[in-house]
Amino acid sequence: EVQLLESGGGLVQPGGSLRLSCEASGFIFSTYAMSWVRQAPGKGLEWVSSISGSGGTTKSYADSVKGRFTISRDDSKNTFYLQMNSLRAEDTAVYYCGLRTVDYWGQGTLVTVSA
């Protein structure tokens, strides 16, 4: 059974940083691309970033986070990450990790950017 478990969300001040983690199980993690998708309160879904499988050599980002967010993965830990820097109020959202784009979803972790 595929399972995705996010962690790392919380309250952060504008300009601050957070690192989200997503631990995967139930499939051969290293071979699959993985993604982050977010949903601001009361809003729709927004793709944030994706990383390729087999080493994560290909990374892509939404324009809204490019230069501020970094996606990475550690296949030895079946985990991938989203390092979020220079956070803004508009980054406030539930962040979901996903297998590919997106076949399976994690439960989400809330990131709140507020003073």
User: Which of 17-25, 42-50, 67-75, 83-91 is the region at the interface with other proteins (rule: CB under 8 A)?
Assistant: 42-50
How far is the C-alpha of 100 from the C-alpha of 109, rounded, in Å?
18
CB of 14 to other proteins, least distance (A): 25
Task: Find the binding residues for other proteins in span 72-111 (CB under 8 A).
Answer: 96, 100-108
CB of 92 to other proteins, least distance (A): 17
CB of 84 to other proteins, least distance (A): 19
CB of 47 to other proteins, least distance (A): 4
Closest residue by Cα to residue 78 from 11, 5, 17: 5
- 85: which residues sit within 8 A by CB, 6+ positions away? 17, 68, 69, 70
Give buried/exposed letters for 34-46 (b at 16+ CB in 10 A, else e).
bbbbbeeeeeeee
How far is the C-alpha of 38 from the C-alpha of 95, rounded, in Å?
4
Residue from 7, 23, 46, 75 that binds other proteins (CB under 8 A)? Answer: 46
Pick 27 or 104: Cβ nearer other proteins:
104
Contact residues for other proteins, defined by CB under 8 A: 35, 37, 44-47, 50, 58, 60, 63, 96, 100-108
